[in-house]
Amino acid sequence: MAQVLEFKLPDLGEGLTEAEIVRWLVEVGDVVAIDQPVVEVETAKAMVEVPCPYGGVVTARFGEEGTELPVGSPLLTVAVGAPASDAGTETETEGSGNVLVGYGTGAPPARRRRVRRMAADVVTSVADAPAPAPASAPAPATAETGGRGDGPVPVISPLVRRLARENGLELRELTGSGRDGLILRADVEQALRAAATQEATAQEATLLPPAALPSTTLPPAALSTPAAVTTPTTDGVTRTPLRGIRGAVADKLSRSRREIPDATCWVDADATELMRARAAMNAAGGPKISVLALLARICTAALARFPELNSSVDMEAREIVRFDRIHLGFAAQTERGLVVPVVRDAHVRNTEALSAEFARLTEAARTGTLTPGDLTGGTFTLNNYGVFGVDGSTPIINHPEAAMLGVGRIVPKPWVHEGELAVRQVVQLSLTFDHRVCDGGTAGGFLRYVADCVEQPAVLVRTL
């Protein structure tokens, strides 16, 4: 008889306690392979595909699309293993061993052998489960043969097949990074990013928000997520639960306002020379440099001079924790809400490397494929709100960081330049900082250095 194993929603890391089912990737009765993605869920951090550590037949699913489940609750059950129906058929199964935090495959070690053939008894022993046509072990789906008769492409996830198909990508040209050459979603996205990066940076003519960078993305239908359940009332009031990304943002901003005594200073700067320097750099050939990357490079240089702002406050220990490394977050507005991807070790990257990493993380933000690791660990945030058509703002600090640099739109304005009134490209810069880590003199010095680099890029030459 087949053994029915229960697969529970794993701990996806970063202290997340729940996730919302966005899309089921399998149906009851489907044969699944070990480590095959079976459901796409949205956490407070990101959209992720969850792989099942068992191979067998899906006998039940728990939760409809749009349902929020706590970590540890059942996701689905899988019937695995069957008695040998003929000599030489090995039918014992195992968990993959490639478990996420909290998976707990639970099967005894003696039973953890890979499925090599799936006997017909696995299907027939499960009541009401539709029997799949083959009685052999599940193999990668034979998607996208291209009509050329070249045999199956090693792809399992229907999302991967659809992503490739809708973007005109030939799967046969890819080398899968998964087990036995399995083509994963990350492989397809990497191929699409490679084709889109140059276009994305070339079209960025002015300071654009991360979410506005052009790129190859999923169609709207593939990006949509179940709308939050609303509850209309008789007095015309509609209530929408704060959950998922929106709920996480609400919690974080509320905590920041409660715990951080913030203050803001700002200055107008003439960005004409910065824009000219960028145009000259891009005219020289090579990968295009974005304005955001130049501002990020300026930020890292300023933080090297004013390290007090690259810190956090530990009130339990009553200590200011200063960081040697700069992990630079940047605010990105997406269809699912505000997210802050993090560029790791931004202080050791030049402008070209920063541009490439911004493009990569921006694409992941737009397609909802950022990992929890991409969204945590920041030590300072760069916030470009100029795209919204505004000049200034007093942004809320991204807790538990100590500061955030805000950048408004770059627009032609009358400006006194070398003693003469002229039309120049002007931008307003604002710094919101935690007054516990420094006083106004340090914050003002940081902001003034940033403005000087914007007005006279030669100040930054020795650090590029």
Going by C-alpha positions, the residue among 454, 450, 451, 433 that lies closest to residue 265 is 433
Going by C-alpha positions, the residue among 95, 5, 100 that lies closest to residue 49 is 100
Residue 347 is given by DSSP the state G
Which helix H or strand E contains 232, and what residues bound it?
strand 231-232
Is the CB of residue 22 less than 8 Å from the CB of residue 47?
A: yes
Chain-centre distance for alpha carbon 241: 23
Q: In the numeric block, which tokens belong to residue 211?
A: 């979410």
Is the CB of residue 269 less than 8 Å from the CB of residue 294?
A: no
The Cα 426–Cα 42 span in angstroms is: 40
The amino acid at residue 103 is: Y
DSSP codes of every residue in 77-95: EEEE----SSTT-------
| Residue 263 CA: distances (Å) to CA of 330, 379, 394, 443, 462 | 20, 18, 9, 9, 31
The Cα 74–Cα 216 span in angstroms is: 35
User: DSSP 3-state assignment of 363?
Assistant: helix
Sign (positive/negative) of CA torsion 248, 254, 258, 261? positive
- Give me the helix-helix angle, 291-305 and 440-455, nearest 10°: 140
CB atoms near residue 15 (< 10 Å): 11
Q: In the numeric block, which tokens belong to residue 403?
A: 């500061």
Q: In the numeric block, which tokens belong to residue 51?
A: 């792989």
Interior angle at CA 284, CA 283 and CA 289, nearest 5: 70
CB atoms near residue 344 (< 10 Å): 15
Q: Strands, E, within 113-196: which ranges? A: 141-143, 153-155
Residues recognised as catalytic: 435, 439
Is the CB of residue 405 less than 8 Å from the CB of residue 239?
A: no
Q: In the numeric block, which tokens belong to residue 341?
A: 């991807």
